[in-house]
Amino acid sequence: KRDLLFAKEMGKRIAQRRKELGLTQEKAAERCGLSLQFFASVETGGKRAGRKPGQAGRGLEVSADQLLLGRVTDFDWHGISNA
């Protein structure tokens, strides 16, 4: 149950970020290097992103922690400042 809730919450964050960028699911999937089917399933909480949060984050111009946890961690800020 907890994994399902986590997947749904992460999917909501992905959908929100995609909409903030004004992207369709198709365009967002393309930017993330993911199939439309996989991207849509992750966005709706049907699939866990597995090892793909970093890939999705890069495509959506946000950190993996932001997608996974809903917040930027100190580690993210360090990485951002060194980029």
pLDDT confidence of residue 82 = 43
Distances (CA, A) of 65 to 24, 37, 60, 76: 22, 23, 13, 7
How much is the pLDDT for 83?
45
pTM: 0.78
User: Which distant-in-sequence residues (6+ apart) come within 8 Å of 78 by Cβ?
Assistant: none
**pLDDT value for 24:** 97
Q: Consecutive 10-residue runs of the chain (83 residues): their mean pLDDT?
A: 84 93 96 93 80 82 85 55 44
pLDDT of residue 51: 62
pLDDT at 81: 43
